[in-house]
């Protein structure tokens, strides 16, 4: 979604190889990212609800519709019970996506450029992964300015601390 948290880039500095990165998670702003820790939590309806809670200005849309000014079009897909993933439409109309700390990609599971994430190849099992994002959840327009406030998942205590800072006016 184009949100960069500088703290995330350095959170494992000097902590050794066992340090686990905490990424922004749907539901994190309101302390609900733990919902994603269960298989039932990793479904289209649940992830959709969590991102709507965190980003109240999110607008459901379609592939053909144009998003309003100062918003970006994103798409949500889910590997039921396992994982969720977002795509973002770039300025040229094609789509990109990023998994974890890996680099941004502009191609799908079959190494083809992504024109529409709903019809793109999202089954990564032939590439040695267990992931198959078979469920397409929808397209959304998400605000760019100001960027959405997000919070990292992981330990609930850390999420609450971030939520408190956000109430005080800090943005990630």
Query: For residue range 124-139, what is the model confidence (pLDDT) as tens digits?
Result: 999 999 999 999 999 9
Ordered by start, the domain boundaries in the chain are 6-167
Beta strands in the chain (DSSP E): 59-61, 71-79, 83-89, 95-97, 135-143
pLDDT tens per residue, range 79-93: 999 999 999 999 999
* pLDDT of res. 114: 98
**Residue 122 confidence (pLDDT):** 97
pTM over 0.75: no
Provide the b/e sequence for 44-78 (b: ≥16 CB within 10 Å). Answer: bebbbebbeebbeebeebeeeeebeeebbbbbbbb
Binning pLDDT at 50, 70 and 90, where does residue 6 land? Answer: low
């Amino acid at each position: 979604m184009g949100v960069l948290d500088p703290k995330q880039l350095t959170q494992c500095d000097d902590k050794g190889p066992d340090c686990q990165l905490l990424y922004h998670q749907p539901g994190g702003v309101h302390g609900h990212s733990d919902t994603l820790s269960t298989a039932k939590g990793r479904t289209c309806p649940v992830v959709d609800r969590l991102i709507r809670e965190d980003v109240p200005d999110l607008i459901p849309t379609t592939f053909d519709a144009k998003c309003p000014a100062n918003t970006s079009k994103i798409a949500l897909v889910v590997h039921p019970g396992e994982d969720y993933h977002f795509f973002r439409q770039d300025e040229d109309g094609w789509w990109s996506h990023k998994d974890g700390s890996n680099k941004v990609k502009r191609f799908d599971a079959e190494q083809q450029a992504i024109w529409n994430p709903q019809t793109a190849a999202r089954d990564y099992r032939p590439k040695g992964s267990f992931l198959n994002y078979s469920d397409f959840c929808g397209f959304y327009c998400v605000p760019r300015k100001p960027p959405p406030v997000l919070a990292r998942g992981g330990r609930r205590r850390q999420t609450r601390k971030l939520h408190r800072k956000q109430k005080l006016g800090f943005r990630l």
